[in-house]
């Protein structure tokens, strides 16, 4: 599957956004009481997110931007949760329609020609809904929704996009969750052998 560079970047942004949601955190990873933390709990976190993903032209961010981005995050999660295009399509359509997209060719900052979907002056939530919504639309069109995954490690709910050739990726990260389960399986086998 050939995924254009910009779509790939937009998918990275969706994944990172989803992984700020408290429900993406393993139970007990948050405060001592075990309440999972929202990675987008305040406006400072939203500025951080915008900077991390080089979301340009978002201007000054307010409480209403934070709530709108959290709402978009919930909508992305619903799209991620289904492999069924019949379910995903209307969700993607509603998301994109609400964002008021204005496709524009751009070659800014030395990138090749690509299409920006967000309307000029769009709020950060509309910017995300338009560009990331179109990236998800691309995945639906390509029949590749199966690649939108959640980590299979028992105590991890992180979202990721499986870009492996044979769609075989199971963990959010081979370094953390994949390796952790590897070690656990190895220890279990040794214990059994020693038992």
For position 151 contacting Zn ion by CB under 5 A, the verdict is yes
Q: Which is nearer to Zn ion, 43 or 53 (CB)?
A: 53
CB of 157 to Zn ion, least distance (A): 8
For position 172 contacting Zn ion by CB under 5 A, the verdict is yes
For position 18 contacting Zn ion by CB under 5 A, the verdict is no
**CA separation for the pair 81, 95 (Å, rounded):** 15
Neighbours of 184 (CB within 10 A): 12
For position 156 contacting Zn ion by CB under 5 A, the verdict is yes
CB of 173 to Zn ion, least distance (A): 6
Contacts of residue 142, defined as CB under 8 A and 6 or more positions apart, other chains included, come to 1
63-80 helix and 43-52 helix, angle to the nearest 10 degrees: 60
CB of 54 to Zn ion, least distance (A): 9
Among 10, 46, 134, 153, binds Zn ion (CB under 5 A): 153
For position 140 contacting Zn ion by CB under 5 A, the verdict is no
Nearest Cα to Cα of residue 123 among 75, 40, 60, 74 = 60
Residue 17 to residues 113, 159, 167, 184: CA-CA distances in angstroms? 26, 9, 22, 29
For position 66 contacting Zn ion by CB under 5 A, the verdict is no
Q: Which is nearer to Zn ion, 71 or 174 (CB)?
A: 174
**CA separation for the pair 124, 135 (Å, rounded):** 16
Among 73, 75, 149, 158, binds Zn ion (CB under 5 A): 158
Q: Which residues bind to Zn ion, rule: CB under 5 A?
A: 151, 153, 156, 158, 172, 177
């Amino acid at each position: 599957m050939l995924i254009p560079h910009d779509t790939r970047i937009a998918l990275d942004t969706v994944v990172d956004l989803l992984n700020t949601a408290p429900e993406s955190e393993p139970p007990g990873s948050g405060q001592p009481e075990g309440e999972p933390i929202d990675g987008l709990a305040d406006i400072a976190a939203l500025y951080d997110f915008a900077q991390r993903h080089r979301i340009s032209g978002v201007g000054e961010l307010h409480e209403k931007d934070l709530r709108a981005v959290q709402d978009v995050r919930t909508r992305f999660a619903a799209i991620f949760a289904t492999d069924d295009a019949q379910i995903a399509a209307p969700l993607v359509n509603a998301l994109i329609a609400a964002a008021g997209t204005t496709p524009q060719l751009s070659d800014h900052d030395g990138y090749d020609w690509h299409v920006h979907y967000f309307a000029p002056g769009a709020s950060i939530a509309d910017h995300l809904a338009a560009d990331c919504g179109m990236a998800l639309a691309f995945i639906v069109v390509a029949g590749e929704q199966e690649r939108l995954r959640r980590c299979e490690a028992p105590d991890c709910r992180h979202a990721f996009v499986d870009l492996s050739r044979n769609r075989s990726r199971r963990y959010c990260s081979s370094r953390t969750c994949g390796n952790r389960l590897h070690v656990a399986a190895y220890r279990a086998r040794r214990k059994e052998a020693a038992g």
